[in-house]
Amino acid sequence: MDQHAQPYKEINRLQTELNAAKSRATELEELDAALRNQLHDQTSQLSQNDFSDFAHTQASHQIDAKPSNKPDNPWNYTERPAQSRSI
C-alpha cells in the first residue's frame, strides 16, 4: 500500500514547492515594479533638479560672461568678419 501512496506524496510535495515558487515569483514581480517606480520617480526628480540647476547656471554664466565691449542690444551689434590670410 505504501508503494501506491509514494507517488501521491511526491506529487503533493512538488505541488507545494511549485505554489511556494509561484508565490515568491509574485512577490519578486511586485518588488520589481515598486523599485522601478521608485527609480523612475527619483530619476524624474533628479532630471528636474539638473535642468533647474543647469538653467540657473547658464543664466548666471550669461550674465557673468557678457563682454563689456558689446552693447546690450545684440541686434545692433555686428561682428567684423575674420580676416582671411593668403600665403
Q: Cα separation of 27 and 34, whole Å? A: 11
pLDDT band at 40 (very low <50, low <70, confident <90, very high): very high
What is the spatial distance between Cα 40 and Cα 16, in angstroms, rounded to a whole number?
Answer: 36
pLDDT in tens, 44-84: 888 777 777 766 666 665 655 555 555 565 555 555 555 65
Tell me the C-alpha distance between 42 and 36, whole Å. Answer: 10
Q: What is the pTM of this model?
A: 0.47
> Per-residue pLDDT tens for 42-54?
888 887 777 777 6
State the average pLDDT over residues 18-23.
98
What's the mean pLDDT in 15-27?
98
Q: How many of the other CB atoms lie within 10 Å of CB of 25?
A: 10
